[in-house]
Amino acid sequence: MKRKIFTIIQIGKRGDLQSIAFDYALTLNIVLNILVLVLETFDALSAHAAAFRALEVLTTLFFCVEYLLRLWTADLLYPSSSPLGARLRFVFSFDGLVALFTILPVFFFRGIVAFRMLRVVRILHLFRLNARYDSFNVITSVVREKSRQILSSLFIILVLMTAGSICMYNAEHAAQPEVFRNAFSGFWWSVSTTLTIGYGDIYPVTAAGKLLAILLAFLGVGAVAIPTGIISAGFVEKFTRAENAAKRFPDVSSIGEILVAPDGELCHKTIDELRRSYGMTVHLVLRGDLTLLPESALVLHPGDILVLKSDKLAKPAP
């Protein structure tokens, strides 16, 4: 029974109607819970506060049951850990913390602003449903592969904003001592200018300050575009690599790709285990910029892309 429940509460697979139905029910509860969170902020709907509260409690009870089931089946999610260790890993995992912070503010700490704000964390439940689909996995894998380039570009932006804030403080402090009181005031202006927001609450009035603002605005447009270009290039590389890998096997009738999720059932398994347990014939393993041959003893890592053939991928005959 534990194995069956574990299969149901995981992300639904094609053909598993019970698991897919659970995903739809979870999605409906998330949407209703967020809808209540939004509607209760309207003063015109204050007369329905009791109904909103009841709906919030009902949907949260569903989250409670889901949390307890995931806690109970955590040893199946982390088979390499002891029963207690697996449950602790789940409690402190991203999914576990999101689930816990979704539940607690509803029943406790309702009068404390900081804990009431945690109710917004329930929106992150939606990431859990998309965690193993291609759209979310492509984004996370690209960011992970290009993390060094992205961090380098963010460092450049930080240096640019810091230099701009100090220069603007020195240029404007004498003319606007109440506005540019310290370097932090200049940093706030520098952030809003570099990121092309420009709130208008702080702006230069001296000639030197205006020239500096023009220069920083132009530099900011180029600097902010750097991480965007890196991520866009990463998307192009990833899709091109996947297409080229698929074209290497034109004689294979049913070929597909699977991304190895960090907490998925394929993670840390060997190629031989995939062949024996799932009937998969793996042709290539894409790991970052490397293309690995699927040797029997090769252990799969999180983020690996499997180019494989499986009878389950073949379309049924008409």
C-alpha–C-alpha distance, residues 223 and 175, integer Å: 29
pLDDT at 134: 53
Query: Is it the case that residue 172 has pLDDT exceeding 70?
Result: yes
d(CA 30, CA 36): 10
Q: What is the pLDDT of residue 110?
A: 60
* pLDDT of residue 249 exceeding 80: no
* 126 vs 227: which has the higher pLDDT: 227
pLDDT digits (tens, 9 = 90+) for 207-228: 988 998 888 888 888 887 888 8
The domain limits of the chain are: 2-131, 147-235, 250-313
Residue 133 predicted with pLDDT over 60 = no
Mean pLDDT of 278-284: 77
pLDDT in tens, 104-117: 777 776 655 555 56
pLDDT of residue 254: 58
* 183-206: pLDDT as tens digits: 787 888 888 888 777 777 888 889
pLDDT higher at 316 or 197: 197
The more confident residue out of 107 and 45 is 45
Model confidence at 252, in pLDDT bands (50, 70, 90)? very low
For the residues 125-144, what does the mean pLDDT come to?
64
| 81, pLDDT greater than 70 | yes
Q: In the structure encoding, which two tokens stand for residue 254, read together?
A: 């049913």
pLDDT at position 38 over 50 = yes
Q: pLDDT tens for residues 8-31? A: 887 656 567 888 888 888 888 888
The pLDDT score that the predictor gives to residue 243 is: 63
A 10 A CB-CB count for 191 gives 17
* DSSP H/E element including 168: helix 147-172
Q: What is the pTM of this model?
A: 0.51
Per-residue model confidence (pLDDT) at position 247 = 58
Q: Which pLDDT band, with edges at 50, 70 and 90, does 237 fall under? A: confident
At 317 the pLDDT is 41
Interval 250-264 mean pLDDT: 68
Distances (CA, A) of 231 to 81, 146, 234, 241: 35, 7, 5, 15
Higher pLDDT, 133 or 215: 215
Euclidean distance between CA atoms 269 and 251, whole angstroms: 27
**Model confidence at 246: pLDDT above 60:** no
Q: What is the pLDDT of residue 117?
A: 61
- Asked whether the predicted pLDDT for residue 230 surpasses 70, the reply is yes
pLDDT band at 316 (very low <50, low <70, confident <90, very high): very low
How high does pLDDT run on average in the chain?
78
Residue 318 pLDDT: 38
CATH number of 250-313: 3.30.70.1450
Paired with 259 in beta bridges are: 305
pLDDT at 224: 78
Measured at the CA of 75, the angle between CA 74 and CA 80, to 5 degrees, comes to 125
Residues 304, 245, 128, CA angle at the centre, nearest 5°? Answer: 35
CATH architecture under which domain 2-131 falls? Up-down Bundle (1.20)
Fold observed for domain 147-235 = Helix Hairpins (1.10.287)
